[in-house]
Structure 1
Amino acid sequence: MDNAYVSAVAALAGSAIGAIATFATTWLTQHGQARAQRVGQAMARREHLYGEFIDEASKLFTDALSHEFDDPSKFIRLYALTGKLRLFASADIVSKAEEVMRLIVEIYDRPNLDFRNPDSRRVDEVDLLRAFSDACREDLNV
């Protein structure tokens, strides 16, 4: 083979290898960035969902302390949030959410508290959301 052909083939091979390396590097970088973005969005979605559940459970908890369970539609939003948790959260968090719902129903079944009376202001379940919040924090810190 002629030396000119060897030089031309070597130059073309070097260019091809350089192009493939550039393509692979670009693809890997974009793939990694897209994955990091998806993970960040999923974490933000769970964080927002956890906050919504805590807000709704807190509202129902305070309502349960001073009202009777007369309208089951009060639980629609909390039940819907629990369903969303089943889609995006771990089984541990879902079980903690279900436990919170169960405790709120139990509190509705108790006699109403009269907050004007200092003796009835004592509430046993003030930390109703502690286990749920701890599980959420652990999930978000992973």
Structure 2
Amino acid sequence: MNASAISALAALVGAAIGGLTSVLASWLTQRTHVRAEWLTHDLTWRQDLYKAFIEDATNCYVHALQHSEPDLAALGNLYAKISRMRVQSSRQVADEADVIGRKIVDTYLAPDKTFIQIHEMLADGSIDILGKFSDVCRAEFASLRAQQI
């Protein structure tokens, strides 16, 4: 081979390697960006679901404390959110949400509470059926945020 052919071949190989490196870097950057965007969207979706679940569970629980006749529409809505958690959330979050749903149904089966009994439940902390759920959600969010870094 003559020197000009070797120089041309070296230039072509160098250009190919440089182009390939550029394409690979762009692909990795885009992939990282899409993953971060997806994780952010997933985190926001879960926050919205958990917020709505907490509000619905609180309303159902208050209703159950005061009435023996269940609000079936509200319970159906609550269990729909639990089912959504089973699809998207960690097992611990979905299981804890299910425990809350069962406690609410059990509360409907118990005698109605008087205001004094509710006051006593507030004083001893037994009225808080969402505490463990909140802790499990917080741990899940910490895990998701760690994946973003």
SS in 2 for 1:74: helix
Is 1:97 the counterpart of 2:93? The answer is: no
Residue pairs, 1:111-130, within 5 angstroms: 111-115=111-115, 118=116, 121-123=119-121, 125-130=126-131
Judge conservation of contact 1:100–1:128 (CA < 8 Å) in 2: yes
- 1:18-97 matches, cutoff 5 A: 18-97=18-97
- Structure 2: distance between partners of 1:119 and 1:87: 37
| TM-align CA RMSD | 1.6
**Alpha-carbon separation, structure 2, partners of 1:90 and 1:79:** 16
Tell me which amino acid in the other structure corresponds to 2:5. Answer: Y
Query: How much has 1:27 moved relative to structure 2?
Result: 0.7
Larger radius of gyration: 1
| Structure-1-length-normalised TM-score | 0.90
Amino acid at match of 2:69: F
State the aligned residue count.
Answer: 140
Displacement, 1:33? 0.9
Distance 2:138 2:33 in 1: 25
Identity %: 32
Cα distance in 1 for residues equivalent to 2:85 and 2:133: 12
* Residues 87-117 of structure 1: CA deviation (Å, up to 9, x unaligned): 11111111111111111112112222232xx
Asked if the contact 2:49/2:81 (under 8 Å) is kept, the reply is yes
Shift of 1:132: 0.8
Unpaired runs of 5+ residues, structure 1, are: none
**1:61-112 alpha-carbon deviations (Å, 9 max, x no partner):** 1111112224423311101001101111111111111111111112112222
Q: Distance in 1 between matches of 2:5 and 2:70?
A: 91
Q: 1:26, 1:120 → 2: CA distance?
A: 60
**Contact kept? 2:93, 2:133, Cα under 8 Å:** yes
Structure 1: distance between partners of 2:114 and 2:132 = 27
1:126-137 equivalence runs, <5 A: 126-137=127-138
Give the structure with the higher percent helix: 2
- Deviation track 1:109-133 (CA, whole Å, cap 9, x = no partner) reads 2222232xx4653226321101111
> How big is each residue's C-alpha offset from its partner over 1:5-44, in whole Å with a ceiling of 9 and x where there is no partner?
1111111111111111111111111011111111221121
Look up the equivalent residue of 2:45 and give its one-letter code: R
Contact conserved, 1:43 with 1:140, CA < 8 A, in 2?
yes
